[in-house]
Structure 1
Amino acid sequence: MQVSLYTEKLLIPVLDRIQQSSTIYILTAFAMKSGVSLLKSALAEAAERGADIKLLTGDYLYVTQPDALNELASIHENIEVRLWRSSGISFHPKAYLFESEAQGHSIIGSSNLSKSALTNGVEWSVGILEHEEKLLFEEASRKFINLFQAENTIAVNLETAKRYEEEYIDFHQQHPDLARTWTKQEEQELMLPDEEKPDPDSMVMETEESYSVLAPRFAQIEALEQLHSTVEEGYKKAMVVMATGLGKTYLAGFFAQNFGKVLFIAHLEEILHQSAESFLKVMPNKTAGIYNGRQKNQDAELLFASIQTLSMKRHLEVFDPEEFDLIVVDEFHHAAAASYKKVLDYFKPSFLLGITATPDRADNRDVYALCEGNVAYKIDFLEAIQRTWLSPFHYYGVYDETDYSKLTWRGTQYDQEELIAAQLRTEQAAHIFQSWETYRKTRTLVFCSSIRQADFLSSYFADKGYRTVSLHSRQKQVNRKDAARALADGELDAIFVVDLFNEGVDIPTVDTLLFVRPTESLTIFTQQIGRGLRLHPDKDHCVIIDLIGNYRNADIKLSLFDTTTPTAKKEKVIQPVVPLSCNVDLDIQVINLLKELTKKRQPRREKLFSNYLMVKEVLGRRPSYLELHLYGEMSANEYKAEFKTLFSFLHWANELTANEQEVFLSHENWLREVERTGMNKSYKMIVLLAMLERGIDNWYKPITALEAAPFFHTYLTSKEYRKRIDFSDGQGKKLWDYDQEKVAGLIERMPMSKWSGSSDGLVRFSDGEFSFQIEPDNSAKKTLYLWTKEICEYRLHQYFKRREN
């Protein structure tokens, strides 16, 4: 090990290491354009040679310059850049981490990403060069990846940089004195509320209840049957959606018995050890190993890997892409994140299984696409309650008089200082305490917004004579596992938590849940509800006490409890229909509030536009039709219902260029025809896709059924589910074996003749030739071709997903 002190010109060793390293991680509290410019060329060259490059900077006090983010986003497409959304929480790390084949070099100190810090400024940094074991580098890399993949970071692209610039300008207009100070002195420590996010390494875990007889039970039996059928039908990927408490990990273990080498991926390291124990109970003769920042047991038959470690290029490439027969991804709703996509794109297993209780991510990306839309088995907590596999609940909606409309919304959450000021009031604590005493049972988890709220309420309840503790990332006096045990054993009345009990934690004896935070994410709310629904001999039902005010999502959260068939209007549920064993009791003020909020909800078109902008920011560009559906919280069908076609929406939203506007106005009827034509089968869109395969200049020109037949047959037989769902001749006879004449006859009889007869002249089938009656000029050809293809691909995706469900 070699230790160096850098007190000037840090740029020299940083550039030297960038040129030599295969892994480059840069973490700074803020970034200035001057600093990015110094590293830009070297980083671009490193990206070209395939280095794994990740940069994380922060928005704390809006010091980071918008131009710096734009520069970072434009260096190279293979460089990952993310922005830490601090919400006023102090964020001051500075680290430059490099790894080559033989060395790990960690430079940690005071230098941010600015010209002053990297050249002539007064900065001190310590560089540690390690060989062989590289313990410090491994630990620093693991901590970096935890920050880089945290929920409150966002990908930096041209769209998110644009939004940041608007916030930056707004902040500095409100704080001009701070802006002048930063111009002179690039960073100044200003003590705002010192809240912290929990360290994933310190999450509370409780060992699962053991099975008296180790065999599938309850939902596991049904899920295994469906998974085995899925394998027999030729699928390579599947997702199982099972409510918390039904044994997803054991299900994966039972399923894994049919495979050789297995990789289990999780985002919390504690889950790795818990899952390894579960798998070994199912398969005691197998070897199990952990692959994370501390252990590298890569040769085990059952390997349990941390996504934070596995997503690093140097660790990923330790494995052969075809090394694993089965890959299981725990909490699959996280798998749409870039780190998971990198890993899943690399490996080629015989089968991929995703398991989750909440398939819809907090950031609304659709993980169904990752398993090709194949949901082998699904059971939510309401159905599990109906089947007596989970505990019933009694829900009490308690009115919260806090006026959240006066609080600033920061994109994903309320302004932390304003929220804390509204929550830390004695009269508010008294109201919460009275509601809890009225409805509570014996063991309570209280979900709070912040560390200060958790401490404040815990002290208030303790002053009233109850045994309480607050658990969060800064709690040093209380051992969290001991606190969980004490609650389970009845030695505590309540634990006040901040983002610690969302996933991977089960205390079956918990019989009361108290929500004293606004619901910002319906996914997290669902996860937290699951903390109280595990069965236990001493629990006949779980009490849920929920403070409801005029915060965002308040008027749609109760739809989570509704057992009626989902509809487009389900978000307007006020009094949900719950399982017979459950109750919902709402204060009259809550009912009136929810009705009022429903009336005032964002107009439909504005909601669609807001959803579109969110997806655009995620991708950094205008989304395609299918991408809007996969990554948005609103179905693309809703755009069709409101605007007839997505491109009508884009025209309304001023998202089209001048040339695109001309194309839209000239060919709107054609676009609407492709959108609206009926699809009892997939055949029309497959013929259209076959025509599109001929290219921009020829796609709309005549084609015969014989010419379309080879593509048509290949498309339907290339995926087992397509063949099974849709390939017959109309009389039920399967056409799996290729016979060009028979397939051509089917094409003529069904899509070509039927589409021609229902298209108002836009589609023609005459003398054996099928064509579209459109003539785009040269300036419109490419755009119309691409738009038609977008609609076609979206409709095929939707058709097969609907039929499969």
Structure 2
Amino acid sequence: MNEAETRAEHIDPMLVAAGWGIVPGSRIRREYLITLGRLEGNGKRGNALSADYVLEYRNTKLAVIEAKAWDKPLTSGVAQAKDYASKLTIRYTYSSNGQGIYAIDMETGKEKTVLSFPTPDELWQATFVLQNQWWDRFTAVPFEDKGGYWQGRYYQDIAIERVLRALAEGQDRILLTLATGTGKTFIAFQLAWKLFHSRWNLNGWKQEEEPTRRPRILFLADRNILANQAFNDFSAFPEDALVRISPDEIKKKGRAPKNGNIFFTIFQTFMTGTNAEGKPSPVFGDYPPDFFDLIIIDECHRGGANDESNWRDILNYFKPAVQLGLTATPKRKDNVDTYAYFGSPVYTYSLKEGINDGFLTPFRVRQHATTLDEYIYTSDDQVVEGEVERGRVYTEKDFNHVIEITPRERKRIEIFMQEIDQSQKTIVFCATQEHALAIRDLINQIKKSSNPNYCHRVTADDAALGKVRTSS
């Protein structure tokens, strides 16, 4: 009897006998895809990773089962079962050849043969020993899948679960660290979805009474393009629940908008504003400090949690709110403030993991050094504008911030344009908006293409023009 027959004739009936797929809220997910397989080039991938069975109850993954053919040893699937459970961060995992069941507790390390699979309620009780009313409420709300179109990746599900557990336990500063391109906005959406439909809010958070008010959630970014993208990605919410806080809207209405549940803005908008006398008065002050129940800070390493950042004033003002930081940057010297403010991440998904799992494209670094990576002014150098500090050694951190040397930038762009396929879409990150302007001009001067719209700058100063250019 092969594996498929063993599953159909023996393992499936054992699961049904335990109530899986029968008990309301329980689900058997077969051939559950975990990873896509590492991209290897030329359209080829490494082996994908999929579990034979994943058992779900109350919208939560509770167990993994690795099936083997009838004539295989009972424990021949143990290594795979453990690997899948580790990947999915699931406590209980099983190996079965249809003749028996071998159970592993990944938390205690205990292993044993059992006579039957646990029921959904038994497995739930074993997994969540300490009951929590908010955790029960969160898990009662299914993920929004847009009719099956949206399916979360395994690490996204884990990240969402970790944040919800932290909330259920009363944690008010939470950090997620996930590599760029792994879908942090999707995670933010699903978190907001569950909180919105479970009616989680600060007033009822640590109290026993039935919650009645839906939460007010602020998505705070440092760039309009990120805030706009998030606003569009949250379109499954009722239209009147979504609010985009922008200077134009504030100016038109004469006040900051307060009717809604999910608000989107950027730090810069919140830091600007004037009072009736025309004096500076930050917009965020229009809201009571306890107005927002949850603040999601996108790319929080870029300033919001920095001790010396003006943006930190916003987070301090809304101190009563639960604050969730999203970052792609692991802890290092230049972002220790972020980790000091939020604490250790409740979940981390690294760039290496994303590449190995096949969700991110492998890359190669081509590093070039020029003969002008340090600069000291000499008397025969021509200063076009400004003043130069004699005797100072200008290094990489100073270029295009403190000092601009156009011939240096031109040479670097010449090297860059020789290295790339000029017919492919390319993004260039620059030091400042002024630097981006200079680089745009140099690329357009050096390019082979006759297209007058070959290279465009897309920054805050370009406003809607940049958006039009990038969408064409």
Normalising by the residue count of structure 2, what TM-score does the alignment of the two structures yield?
Answer: 0.49
Could you say which structure has the greater relative contact order, defined with CA pairs below 8 angstroms and 6 or more residues apart?
A: 2
Name whichever structure is richer in helix by fraction. 1
